[in-house]
Amino acid sequence: MRLGSSVSARLRVRILELVPRYAILVLLAALFVFPFYWMLVISLGTLQSVFVFPPILYPLWHWENFAVAVGLQADPQTGQFLQIPWPRYFLNTVIVAGGTTALVLVTSVLAGYAFASMPFPGKGVVFLVVLAVYMVPAEVTLVPNFIILANLHWIDSFQAQIVPFGASVFGIFLMRQFFLGLPNDLWEAAQLDGTGHLRFLWSIAAPLARAPMITIALFHFVAGWNAFLWPLIVTNSDAYRPVQVGLQNFSYADATNPVLHAAGSLMVTLPILIIFLLAQRQIVGGIAASGIRG
Amino acid sequence: MDPTTASSYAASTAARALQARRRGRAGRDAVSGYLLISPAMVLLIVFVLLPALWIFWLSFQRWDLISGTSDYIGTANYERLLLRDDVFRKAVLQTVYFVVVTVPVSMGLGLFAAVLLNRSMPFRDLLRTLIFTPYVMPIVSTALIFSFIYHPDVGVLNAALNAVGVPKIDWLDSPRFVMPAIILYSVWQHTGYNAVIFLAGLANLPPELDEAARVDGARTWSRFWRLTWPLLSPTTYFVLLINLIGSFKVVQPILIFAGGVGGATSGGGGPDKAAETIGYYLYVQAFSFFHAGYAAAISVVLFLIILAITGLQMGVFSRRVFYR
């Protein structure tokens, strides 16, 4: 009897402790999520409804705004069809983000394996170079990189958006850590069979490294999708412009229609939001483990 | 020969053969080692290391980005930048303003959220994910939404402030409020990142210490300041370093919120250049005015600031941080 009452007392203390904690956390989370909700509200409103004060706080469900934004339906304000090459922008972004991710995976797996498992003279010095590179922010090298690409005649191309980001210090570190942790028996056994490093890496080590490779791929795909400043500088035609620069141009070209801008924003955000929500465990876990910040 | 010697003989022969094969392979291993690191190293050297060194040389040139012509002009870029350029002076001041507010606020909020989240409870992962989401979302879309939120006449922020009696604020069009608006956006963007790193740091603390303090009857606040805060210092210094560097080089939010304000011919940067930052000024000098040499000099200054922060932090880190 006494035991039961002390258990319920402890439970009551626990609940009393948890309620304010939840209250604050839910409020905080609501504040952080609100802009996404607001994106939805504006994109589903009308040009009249979004210019009402005080603002209407719930969505009006005008789905046709999306049809107008992609040019399938005439803009009711102007009677004209918007001519924004969204499919082209999205395709460009997928090519750039996918290409960067693939290149980063290859270079990280190869270098990570060599740093972890292969003896070669000067390894320590080379690894110090990798560490030094980690200290250089991309903003500092904007100008020389632009000159390099101009000399390569790469301005306004896919490779200008892919190749400079094809090696990742984060990726090399992560792969090196993983390969250092592989049990040595695997390599000993492979050596008895006469297997060399390259075959061992290709057929045994790399297939085991799925987890860190997925983390690296997620990071670089998200970074590639969100890239804005560099593509803004090195692209000047719709043939190579990614969706972020396309959205920016759209919002600059016609600053009077927030409804369509919000619809565009939502289209650009939604794919990455879905990827993030599906893979949030790997992404948040990877950030917690490595501390990488874009 | 008894069976044990026979088997040990066989084993040693196999071992010797293996050793010989290994020795013959050492040379080949070194070559393939270089081969394997070369794709990554070539890219890192060409697109990061050499450009980082090259800005120092570029900063002594007058270099036109369009025509590609260049002259050696000695320290003229630095003399103009450090002694005569009022916009750069403003950019340094506004960058410091941005850093000094954004970093403590987003770190404090992140730590607060992390401490609240640091116990097992239902929906913990969901709450963490929601707070983190802004960090991974595309900056163009989120900044666009914030510019509607900041709209002076129909924006939801002014509506909320109006409800508590605050008069209308011209967020992005007034020299006084454009920076606070950009700071608020940056805090929203980075708090989740800080919370996640702090949460990882908190998870690494020894739980016994906290239990002991609890038994001693220490109150929650004193437990936090006496135990958690000093034990967390390696994480705190790491988060501080990352935040300082990230904030000092800020470009993109400025470009989106204030790139078109303050006159496109003068390079934007907000009303009265109130949102001008070092990183943004570097971008404008290089890619609006095509002064590559001058922009390189700004890059050098920015790089030195970042190296100084890193060096300072490393120094403090090795002396003052509590290690377990």
Which of chain A's residues have a Cβ under 8 Å away from the Cβ of B116?
21, 24-25
Q: What's the pLDDT score for residue B16?
A: 59
Are the C-beta atoms of B135 and B234 separated by less than 8 Å?
no
HSE (CB half, 13 Å, CA atoms) of B304?
Answer: 8
- Tokens representing B321? 């941080």
Q: What is the block-wise mean pLDDT of chain A (294 residues), using blocks of 10 residues?
A: 65 82 94 96 92 90 92 87 93 98 98 94 92 91 96 97 96 94 90 88 94 94 96 96 94 81 94 92 82 58
Q: What's the pLDDT score for residue B324?
A: 39
If we measure between CA atoms, which residue out of B197, B202, B191 comes closest to residue B224? B202
If we measure between CA atoms, which residue out of A233, A80, A192, A293 comes closest to residue B250? A293
**Cβ–Cβ of B302/A258 closer than 8 Å?**
no
Q: What's the pLDDT score for residue B1?
A: 41
If we measure between CA atoms, which residue out of B283, B246, B39 comes closest to residue A146? B283
Q: What's the pLDDT score for residue B113?
A: 96
For tokens 């979302």, the residue is: B137
Determine the residue type at B294: Y
Q: What's the pLDDT score for residue A5?
A: 62
For tokens 């000099």, the residue is: B297
What domains are defined for chain A?
86-290 (1.10.3720.10)
Which of chain A's residues have a Cβ under 8 Å away from the Cβ of B22?
191
Residue B128 Cα, gap to closest chain A Cα (Å): 8
The percentage of chain B sitting over the pLDDT mark of 70, rounded to a whole number, equals: 86
Domain topology for B76-320: MetI-like fold (1.10.3720)
Kindly state the DSSP code that residue A55 receives in the 8-state scheme: P
Q: How far is CA A163 from CA A74, A175, B152, B217, in A?
A: 40, 20, 42, 59
Helix extents (H) in chain B:
3-44, 50-58, 76-79, 86-117, 124-136, 139-149, 156-163, 178-203, 207-216, 220-223, 229-231, 233-248, 252-258, 278-287, 292-320
Q: Give the span between the Cα atoms of A157 and A240, in whole angstroms.
A: 6
Determine the residue type at A97: A
CATH 1.10.3720.10 boundaries in chain B: 76-320
Q: What's the pLDDT score for residue A196?
A: 87
Which of chain A's residues have a Cβ under 8 Å away from the Cβ of B287?
142, 146, 233
Q: Which residues of chain B have pLDDT under 70?
A: 1-26, 210, 217, 261-265, 317-324
Q: How far is CA A47 from CA A80, A250, B148, in A?
A: 16, 17, 13
Q: A273 to chain B: nearest residue by CA?
A: B137
* pLDDT digit string, tens, across residues B168-215: 999 999 999 999 999 999 999 999 999 999 999 998 888 777 677 777
HSE (CB half, 13 Å, CA atoms) of B67?
Answer: 7
Which of chain A's residues have a Cβ under 8 Å away from the Cβ of B68?
150
- Tokens representing B24? 């013959």
Q: What's the pLDDT score for residue B73?
A: 96
Q: What's the pLDDT score for residue A289?
A: 76
Q: What pairs with residue B70 in β-bridges?
A: B63
Q: What pairs with residue B291 in β-bridges?
A: B64
Virtual CA dihedral for A31, A37, A38, A39, nearest 10 degrees?
A: 130
Interface ipTM above 0.85: yes
**Cβ–Cβ of B153/A53 closer than 8 Å?**
yes
Q: Give the span between the Cα atoms of A56 and A111, in whole angstroms.
A: 55
- Tokens representing A202? 């290709």
Residue B130 Cα, gap to closest chain A Cα (Å): 6
If we measure between CA atoms, which residue out of A283, A272, A31, A226 comes closest to residue B129? A283
Q: What's the pLDDT score for residue A245?
A: 95
**Cβ–Cβ of A144/B296 closer than 8 Å?**
yes
Burial A86-119 (b: 16+ CB within 10 A, else e): beebbebbbbbbbbbbebbbebbbbbbbbbbbbe
